[in-house]
């Protein structure tokens, strides 16, 4: 495009006032107009190709033989444990489908089908819903789980059932059922929202993850749908496949869990309402995570009955809730190592500083009791941990205040949102005066004193406790995780001792570890029952009992206070955290028994047995045959 402007014109313009010249504008506007016309012309031509040239071809094809395109739901990815034991798989499911576009009268066909294979109310409701929401070439599932008998009858009546076909789909199978229900989770038929966000969820047989790994890794597990294009004659008979694109099965996910260890922990807990977590303290792999009671995840695949749901939700022992990540409990004395570390780091106390414990601590006219009525005398930090002396920690907390305690506890994972691959995680709470103010209350000195022994407003989850003890044991900031491998790609968290070191001095950690060693191994420790029965291997730990109800002074002083006499829901929770081997820590275990009364009596032996089993199996270093169990050490 050339725009010739005369030189003279320009000179003339320089000399006198001018009107903006129309010439240039007109020329350029015409160019714009030509471009617009060109674009619209090209679009018109393109539309002609789409509609008339190709469209005519399609129409002609439809007149003779129609093609019918069906999408194939991909198989959901498998979930296995670290040794390849299958935790979630798929099983065949023969079902009857209806292709809406291949039948003239949908309702009549359904009614006819109902005579051959009875459908119940729920089936009808689901079919109605699917027919409204599904695309024409997406078949609607009429009935799942057909028997051979049903299939024979359908086959026999095929001529009167246009558009009905039988094919094999898959349902989700959980071979170990309740054992890993809280971790693996479960699937359910997709809801409207799932279908809106991902059209392939409308395919019959697709399932959406609704809890656990099934939910958090849902996208990876879904896979890619395939499609098959079939040639259908005017009578609706399939003449043959024209084109088949196979779908892609979802990713296979291997967890860090050792199903054998998990089974042992579950057996050992028995029918108590409890939660236990076993973690590799060198890299944060969760080897076992048990929450009892559990539930059967297979029930969700086709939708849970109302009665079953009511039973689960009304049960005071909350089977549907994974207590390991969503159950919050006061940590009780298991919190003391964190308080001690905070005192050392802030410089408020040295390991040699002593406090005198007369069996109680008075502050502002209130008497705080030690668990030992006779007191512990004058003790230093290591002894205070060994005896689990309350008075020492009342005073330690009072001395340094709440903020350093909170920072330390958060650093060790308590009261923080851990990045484990599970949904519905409920972090605990480490209270501070600010937090209390936010909720409209005043914080007073007594609250700090109470928090010093892990009572009052302090709340943690078992997973947080396991993370905390792992970090004490390894001195590294390990992060708990469950996914070990996706297809062939190992998680980048599997490396041992790769986590960054904790921001705590090694000598401080050693004081804590020694105190925890004494808890188990010194003859005056609070948990001598937790000694390991393995030669040359020692465990270090910490007991805890978390009160759920205030013990009145009168009751305490009458000397007849016995919490076992309380009703179950008023007894304190029993807690125990531990790691072993002491000289080269490998595993950390945290146990919480709801209303188990005393950590030393109920939780410590349980933790000892779990730790023994873990050390004997050694799932981290050992590749043993799956399913093989180790004889329990008595």
Partner 1 sequence: MNWQKRLWRPESSFRLMAKLLQVNWLYVLLICALAGVGYLALYSAGGGSAKPFAGPQAVRFGFGLLMMVLVALLSPRVLRWLSVPIYLLSITLLGLVLRMGHVGKGAERWISLGGMQFQPSEFAKIALVLALASWFYRIDPVRMGNPLRLIPPALMVLLPVALVLKEPNLGTGVIIGVIGATMFFSAGMRLWQILILVAPIPFLGKFVYAHLHDYQKARIDTFLHPEHDPLGAGYNIIQSKIALGSGGMWGEGYLRGTQGQLNFLPEKQTDFIFTMIGEEWGYAGAVSVIALLGILVLGGMLISLRSRNQFGRLLALGISVDFFMYCAVNLSMVMGVIPVGGVPLPLVSYGGSAMLTMMFGFGLLLSTWVHRNEKDRPTSDVAE
Where do contacts with partner 1 occur on this chain (CB under 8 A)?
Answer: 1, 3, 5, 9-10, 13-14, 16-22, 24-26, 28-33, 36-37, 39-40, 43-44, 46-48, 50-52, 54-56, 58-59, 71, 100-101, 135-137, 198-200, 225, 227
Q: How far is the CB of 616 from partner 1 (least distance, A)?
A: 47
**For partner 1, the closer CB: 11 or 307:** 11
**For partner 1, the closer CB: 21 or 378:** 21
Contacts of 262 by beta carbon, 8 Å cutoff, 6+ apart: 81, 179, 180, 287, 288, 289, 290
**For partner 1, the closer CB: 206 or 516:** 206
**For partner 1, the closer CB: 17 or 567:** 17
154-186: buried (b, 16+ CB within 10 Å) or exposed (e) per residue?
beeeeeebbbbbbeebbbbbbebbbbbbbbbbb
Q: How far is the CB of 70 from partner 1 (least distance, A)?
A: 12
**For partner 1, the closer CB: 2 or 306:** 2
Is the Cβ–Cβ distance between 399 and 354 less than 8 Å?
Answer: no
Q: Which of 230, 239, 171, 233 is nearest to 205 (CA)?
A: 171
CA gap 280, 584 in Å, rounded: 12
Q: What are the residues facing 309 on neighbouring strands?
A: none
Q: Which two tokens stand for residue 136?
A: 């024409």
**For partner 1, the closer CB: 44 or 535:** 44
Q: How far is the CB of 129 from partner 1 (least distance, A)?
A: 14
Q: How far is the CB of 132 from partner 1 (least distance, A)?
A: 9
- The kind and range of the H/E element at 86 are strand 86-98
Q: How far is the CB of 20 from partner 1 (least distance, A)?
A: 4
Longest dimension (CA), the chain: 118
String of DSSP letters for 494-541 = -STT-SPBPSS-HHHHHHHHHHHHHHHHSTTSS-GGG--SSTT---EE
Please give the DSSP secondary-structure letter assigned to residue 627: T
Residues in the chain: 634
Q: How far is the CB of 110 from partner 1 (least distance, A)?
A: 17
Question: Cα–chain-centroid distance for residue 253?
Answer: 14
Instruction: Looking at 302-413, list the stretches that DSSP marks H as alpha helix, in order from N- to C-terminal side.
Output: 306-314, 323-326, 336-345, 381-387, 390-400, 402-411
**For partner 1, the closer CB: 223 or 475:** 223
String of DSSP letters for 88-151 = EEEEEEEEEEE-GGG-S-HHHHHHHHHHHS---HHHHHHHHHHHHHS-TTS-EEEESS--HHHH
Q: How far is the CB of 489 from partner 1 (least distance, A)?
A: 20
Q: How far is the CB of 75 from partner 1 (least distance, A)?
A: 16
**For partner 1, the closer CB: 9 or 308:** 9
Q: How far is the CB of 9 from partner 1 (least distance, A)?
A: 8
Beta strands in 535-619 (DSSP E): 540-546, 573-580, 587-593
Phi–psi pair at 525, nearest 5 degrees = -70, 170
Is the Cβ–Cβ distance between 162 and 104 less than 8 Å?
Answer: yes
Q: How far is the CB of 612 from partner 1 (least distance, A)?
A: 49
**For partner 1, the closer CB: 203 or 418:** 203
**For partner 1, the closer CB: 72 or 548:** 72
**Cis (ω within 30 of 0) for the bond into 485?**
no
Q: Which of 358, 331, 355, 356 is nearest to 343 (CA)?
A: 355
Q: How far is the CB of 12 from partner 1 (least distance, A)?
A: 10
**For partner 1, the closer CB: 66 or 399:** 66
**For partner 1, the closer CB: 71 or 349:** 71
Q: Work out whether the CA dihedral 397, 401, 402, 406 comes out positive or negative.
A: negative
- The kind and range of the H/E element at 609 are helix 604-617
Q: How far is the CB of 134 from partner 1 (least distance, A)?
A: 8
- Interaxial angle between packed helices 402-411 and 336-345, expressed in degrees from 0 to 180 and rounded to the nearest 10: 110
**For partner 1, the closer CB: 14 or 439:** 14
**For partner 1, the closer CB: 17 or 347:** 17
Q: How far is the CB of 28 from partner 1 (least distance, A)?
A: 5
Q: Work out whether the CA dihedral 119, 122, 128, 134 comes out positive or negative.
A: negative
Q: How far is the CB of 225 from partner 1 (least distance, A)?
A: 6
């Amino acid at each position: 495009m050339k725009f010739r402007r005369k030189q003279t014109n320009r000179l003339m313009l320089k000399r006198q006032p001018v009107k903006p010249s129309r010439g240039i504008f007109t020329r350029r506007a015409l160019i714009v107009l030509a471009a617009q016309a060109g674009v619209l012309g090209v679009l018109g031509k393109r539309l002609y190709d789409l509609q008339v040239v190709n469209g005519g071809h399609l129409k002609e094809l439809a007149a003779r033989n129609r093609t019918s395109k069906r999408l194939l739901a991909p198989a959901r990815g498998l979930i296995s444990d670290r040794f390849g034991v299958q935790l979630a798989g798929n099983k065949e499911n023969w079902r009857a489908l209806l292709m809406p576009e291949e039948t003239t009268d949908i309702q009549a066909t359904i009614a006819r089908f109902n005579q051959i294979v009875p459908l119940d109310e729920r089936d009808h409701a689901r079919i109605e819903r699917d027919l409204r929401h599904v695309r024409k070439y997406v078949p609607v599932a009429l009935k799942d789980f057909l028997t051979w008998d049903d299939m024979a009858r359908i086959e026999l009546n095929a001529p009167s059932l246009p558009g009905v076909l039988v094919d094999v789909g898959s349902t989700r199978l959980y071979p170990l059922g309740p054992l890993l229900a809280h971790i693996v989770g479960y699937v359910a038929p997709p809801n409207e929202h799932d279908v809106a966000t991902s059209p392939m969820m409308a395919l019959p047989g697709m399932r959406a993850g609704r809890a656990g790994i099934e939910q958090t890794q849902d996208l990876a597990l879904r896979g890619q749908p395939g499609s098959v294009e079939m040639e259908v004659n005017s009578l609706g008979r399939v003449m043959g496949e024209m084109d088949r694109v196979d779908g892609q099965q979802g990713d296979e996910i291997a967890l860090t869990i050792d199903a054998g260890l998990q089974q042992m922990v579950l057996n050992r807990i028995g029918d108590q309402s409890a939660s236990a977590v076993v973690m590799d303290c060198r890299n944060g792999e969760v080897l076992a995570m048990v929450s009892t009671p559990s539930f059967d995840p297979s029930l969700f695949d086709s939708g849970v009955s109302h009665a079953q749901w009511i039973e689960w939700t009304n049960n005071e022992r909350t089977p549907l809730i994974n207590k390991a990540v969503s159950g919050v409990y006061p940590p009780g004395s298991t919190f003391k190592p964190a308080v001690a570390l905070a005192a050392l780091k802030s410089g408020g106390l040295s390991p040699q500083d002593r406090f005198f414990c007369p069996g109680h601590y008075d502050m502002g006219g209130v008497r705080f009791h030690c668990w030992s009525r006779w007191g512990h005398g004058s003790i230093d930090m290591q002894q205070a941990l060994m005896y689990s002396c309350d008075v020492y920690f009342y005073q330690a907390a009072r001395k340094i205040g709440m903020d350093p305690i909170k920072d330390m506890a958060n650093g060790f994972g308590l009261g923080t949102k851990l990045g484990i691959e599970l949904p519905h995680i409920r972090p605990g709470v480490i209270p501070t005066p600010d937090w209390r103010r936010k909720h409209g209350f005043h914080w007073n000195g007594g609250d700090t004193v109470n928090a010093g022994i892990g009572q009052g407003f302090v709340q943690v989850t078992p997973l947080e406790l396991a993370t905390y003890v792992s970090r004490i044991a390894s001195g590294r900031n390990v992060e708990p995780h469950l996914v070990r491998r996706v297809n062939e790609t190992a998680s980048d968290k599997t490396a041992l001792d790769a986590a960054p070191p904790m921001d705590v001095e090694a000598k401080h950690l050693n004081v804590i570890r020694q105190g925890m060693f004494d808890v188990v191994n010194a003859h005056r420790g609070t948990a001598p029952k937790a000694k390991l029965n393995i030669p040359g291997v020692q465990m270090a730990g910490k007991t805890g009992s978390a009160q759920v109800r205030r013990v009145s002074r009168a009751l305490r002083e009458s000397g007849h206070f016995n919490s076992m006499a309380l009703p179950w829901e008023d007894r304190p929770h029993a807690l125990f955290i531990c790691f072993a081997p002491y000289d080269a820590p490998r595993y950390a275990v945290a146990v919480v028994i709801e209303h188990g009364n005393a950590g030393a009596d109920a939780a410590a032996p349980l933790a000892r047995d779990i730790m023994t089993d873990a050390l004997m199996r050694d799932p981290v270093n050992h590749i043993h045959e799956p399913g093989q169990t180790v004889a329990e050490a008595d």
